[in-house]
Amino acid sequence: MTSDSLKSVPLNTPTAIHRLRVLTVNTHKGFTALNRRFILPELREAVRSTSADLVFLQEVVGEHERHSSRYNEWPQMSQYEFLADSMWSDFAYGRNAVYPDGHHGNALLSKYPIREFRNLDVSITGPERRGLLHCVLDVPGHAEVHAICVHLSLLESHRQLQLQLLCQLLESLPDDAPVIIAGDFNDWQLQGNAALARRDYLHEAFERHHGRPAKTYPARFPLLRLDRIYLRNASSHNPRILGNKPWTHLSDHLPLAVEVHL
C-alpha cells in the first residue's frame, strides 16, 4: 500500500455494529411484588449482569419525595440514572404518571448515543397515564436505529387505541430503519398481539421462536403473556425469559432478553 492510499483510509471510523443485546423489564418502581421490600440496588446488579446494550424500563421512578426520606437506600438521583450508573452512557426518560410526591414512567438505557427522544402521551381517559418513549439511536454502521419503550393500559379498549397510535408512529419512521419495540403491553388476552401480527413487517421475538409470546406475570408463577419484544427490519435470536433467582423476586414481572441482529 502506498503512502497516498494510506491517507485515504479513515483512521477513526467506528466498527459497524450488527448485534444488540436487548433487555426489557417492568421495574415495579423498585419494589418487590405487593411492595413488600425496596430492592432497587439488587435490581441494578441483576440488570448489570446481563451486559445488555439496550435496557427498556417501565414503571421506573423519576422522583418520589416521600420514598426518598423513608428508605435509606433510596438513590439521590432518579431511578433510571441509578440503574444506568457507569455502564450505560446514555439514557432517556418519559414521564407518564404524575402525583403529589413525584412521577414515574418509561426509560431507555443505551450503550450507544441517543440522538433524540420524545415521549408520546397515549393516555385515553381516566387516571391511567401511559406513554410511548421513542428514541433514535446512533449505532455505528446504521443511519438510525429506533427504540420504542411501551407501557399500555389495563383496559382492552384503551389498548386497542394505543396500538393504533403505535402503528401510526411506526408508519412515520423510515421504511428501512431498524426498529425495536419492547415493554409491558398488558395484553393478557393477546388481542393486541393478533392486531400487530397482521402487519407483515413486524415480528414478536418469542412468538417467532416459540410459537407464542412469553409468560411473564406474575413473576413467581407466570401465567400471563404481558411483556413483548417486537422487531422491524431486524432479526431476533436466542430469546430468553429470565425466570430464575434473583429475577423472580425483583419485580412482579419477569424480564425478557433477546439478541437483535441488524
Residue 159 CA from chain centroid, whole number: 18
| Residue 8 confidence (pLDDT) | 52
pLDDT at 7 over 60: no
CA-wise closest residue to 27 among 68, 77, 62, 69: 62
State residue 216's pLDDT score: 98
Give the three cell numbers for residue 202. Answer: 413486524
Computed over every residue of the chain, the mean pLDDT equals 93
Q: What is the DSSP string of the chain?
A: --HHHHHTS-SSPPPPP-EEEEEEEE-GGGB-GGG--B-HHHHHHHHHHTT-SEEEEEEEEEEEHHHHHH-TT--SS-HHHHHHTTT-SEEEEEEEEEETTEEEEEEEEESS-EEEEEEEE---SSS---EEEEEEE--TTSS-EEEEEEE--SSHHHHHHHHHHHHHHHHHS-TTS-EEEEEE---TTSHHHHHHHTSTT-EEHHHHHHSSPPP-BSSSS--B--EEEEEESSEEEEEEE--STTGGGT-SS--EEEEEE-
Over residues 91-101, the pLDDT tens digits come to 999 999 999 99
Is the per-residue pLDDT at 36 higher than 90? no
Instruction: Check whether 9 has a pLDDT greater than 60.
Output: no
* Whole-number pLDDT of residue 108: 98
Average pLDDT over residues 156-168: 97
| pLDDT for position 1 | 42
Which one is predicted more confidently, 135 or 5? 135
% the chain with pLDDT above 90? 86
Residue 167: pLDDT band by 50, 70, 90 thresholds? Answer: very high
Average the pLDDT over 251-261 and give the result.
97
What is the rounded distance in angstroms from the CA atom of residue 237 to the CA atom of residue 257? 10
pLDDT at 10: 57
User: To 10 degrees, the CA torsion angle through 73, 35, 153, 211?
Assistant: 100
Q: Give the mean pLDDT of 207-232.
A: 97
pLDDT at 200: 81
Q: What is the pLDDT of residue 6?
A: 46
pLDDT value of residue 82: 97
pLDDT at 188 over 50: yes
> How large is the average pLDDT for residues 191-213?
94
